[in-house]
Structure 1
Amino acid sequence: MPADTTETLPNLVTIVGRGVPSNYEITVDGDIELVGADPIEEATVVTDHSAEGAVDTGVMRFRFSGQMANVHVVDWNGVPAPDSPSTPEVHIDYGVPPRSDNN
């Protein structure tokens, strides 16, 4: 029987694209997994403690345990936040129960 994601991965990071191709890298000191999307379709690399990929429009969500260790986002020219208004928005929420629709 699979472990309850709420207890094992209680935290949520959301990356919101701003309409231009951008890259992101996130690292946590616990475990991380992509929520509601296929990593191959989204060209997202997820390891035990980190995730990286690209976002243009839409939202990427990851559940994680532990604390956020690092967030790095850059726009299509490689300009990092906060120097570029085109980098994705990043929201980090601790202790968030999963949505009933798995997104």
Structure 2
Amino acid sequence: MGKITFIEHDGTEHVVEFEAGASLMQVAVNNAVPGIDADCGGECACGTCHVILAQEWFAKTGTPGPDEEQMLSMTPERAESSRLGCQVQTTEAMDGMTVRLPEFQM
């Protein structure tokens, strides 16, 4: 088990525990982190689990697929290190990760 820190747009931090294998979206939803809507339930169909990773963590999350890229292309707050939380499977190597949340989800 590890810990991930989700930081809301206003700077409020939520440090939550996770078990490897869950998606970032699942970790946030299971811990009632505000700012992750997860409207589609993790199907990569809505973009409401948009997260912005610190650059040093981005490489540890894999490469966004075409469906994720398409959803992110419609996100006004997209950053170079943006991902959809539903598409990032957590691993033990993500212990200590910091995840920023945009001001608005799509």
Q: Please say whether Structure 1 and Structure 2 have the same fold, judged by a TM-score greater than 0.5.
A: no
**Which TM-score band applies after superposition, normalised by the shorter structure?**
0.3 to 0.5
Between structures 1 and 2, the one with greater helix share: 2
Which structure's CA Rg is the greater one? 1
